[in-house]
Amino acid sequence: MSAPLVELSAVRKTYGAGTEVEVEVLHGIDLALAPGEFTALVGPSGSGKSTLLNLIGLLEPPTAGSYRIAGRETATLAEGDVTALRATHLGFVFQFHHLLPAFTATENVLMPGLIAHGPVTPERRERARDLLRDVGLGDRLDYLPRKLSGGQQQRVAIARALSLAPPLVLADEPTGNLDTHSADDIFRLMRRFNERSGTAFLIVTHDPRLAQRCDRIVELIDGQIAGDAPNLAHRPE
């Protein structure tokens, strides 16, 4: 088996440390994700799924334990290295797309590259447009987000997450506010990138039907991993 892409051991997360409302929401998480894995993260509301995703996404540090990404222990990294690792290794898709409303679909997809590498080059622009064509938005390249449907906006968000070709995409309820049909489309799209480019996905979902279409299902209950198993029922899309 190849070296894990990310590896958490005994990770804990406490909010409000040192205050009256101190609360530990993750209680010793051990989890490794391999390159190319397509994993569902499920569990009741409040069980800590988003918190775990934020830790893996280097958006917040763990309170205790060790988190390694691409073999590097994150606790000892300088802020600049964390930012660089986030840009090169991680893509994000959220329930509400968080597209920048004043920018077109193409410009939104160009944004991570602009932040990580500076001014846009013609090659990067063409790649952004190719990605948008790939997600079925070839005729919407210069539309503003508000002129797109929810499903189309989520497609832009996926193209944006993939724009720097990260080995891992973290998706927090990416289909949460979509109808069943659009949710299916978005899910199939992620699976296609997974199969074609070997991009690993960790997808939070409340939809058991979608979880059943992942290769592995990790279940979080009350801040602890209550289940973690390969999903043998999965059929290729």
Ligand X SMILES: Nc1ncnc2c1ncn2[C@@H]1O[C@H](COP(=O)(O)OP(=O)(O)OP(=O)(O)O)[C@@H](O)[C@H]1O
Q: CA torsion sign, 133 to 139 to 142 to 146?
A: negative
Q: Rounded to an integer, what distance in angstroms lies between the CA atom of residue 209 and that of residue 205?
A: 9
Q: CA torsion sign, 102 to 57 to 4 to 77?
A: positive
Of residues 196, 201, 5, 195, the one with CA closest to residue 85: 5
Taking the CA atoms of residue 179, residue 181, residue 182 and residue 187 in that order, the dihedral angle to the nearest 10 degrees is 120
Q: Which stretch binds Mg ion (CB under 5 A): 46-54, 96-104, 127-135, 184-192?
A: 46-54
- Binding-site member from 7, 29, 33, 49 for ligand X (CB under 6 A): 49
For position 143 contacting ligand X by CB under 6 A, the verdict is no
Minimal distance in Å, beta carbon 34 to Mg ion? 24
If residue 153 lies in a helix (H) or strand (E), which one and from where to where? helix 150-161
For position 15 contacting ligand X by CB under 6 A, the verdict is yes
Which one of ligand X, Mg ion, none interacts with residue 15, CB within 5 to 8 A by kind? ligand X
Minimal distance in Å, beta carbon 117 to Mg ion? 31
For position 47 contacting ligand X by CB under 6 A, the verdict is yes
Question: Contacts with ligand X: how many residues (CB under 6 A)?
Answer: 11
Q: Rounded to an integer, what distance in angstroms lies between the CA atom of residue 154 and that of residue 148?
A: 9
- Binding-site member from 12, 25, 70, 103 for ligand X (CB under 6 A): 25
Q: CA torsion sign, 38 to 220 to 12 to 91?
A: positive
- Binding-site member from 6, 39, 51, 213 for ligand X (CB under 6 A): 51
Which one of Mg ion, ligand X, none interacts with residue 129, CB within 5 to 8 A by kind? none
- Binding-site member from 39, 47, 50, 163 for Mg ion (CB under 5 A): 50
Q: Which stretch binds ligand X (CB under 6 A): 41-49, 71-79, 114-122, 152-160?
A: 41-49
For position 45 contacting ligand X by CB under 6 A, the verdict is yes
Q: Rounded to an integer, what distance in angstroms lies between the CA atom of residue 98 and that of residue 101?
A: 8
Question: Contacts with Mg ion: how many residues (CB under 5 A)?
Answer: 1
Nearer of residues 135 and 186 to ligand X, judged by Cβ: 186
| 26 CB-contact burial (10 Å; exposed 0-12 / middle 13-18 / buried 19+) | buried
Which one of ligand X, Mg ion, none interacts with residue 167, CB within 5 to 8 A by kind? none
CA atoms within 13 A on the CB side of 141: 13
Binding site for ligand X (CB under 6 A): 15-16, 25, 43, 45-51
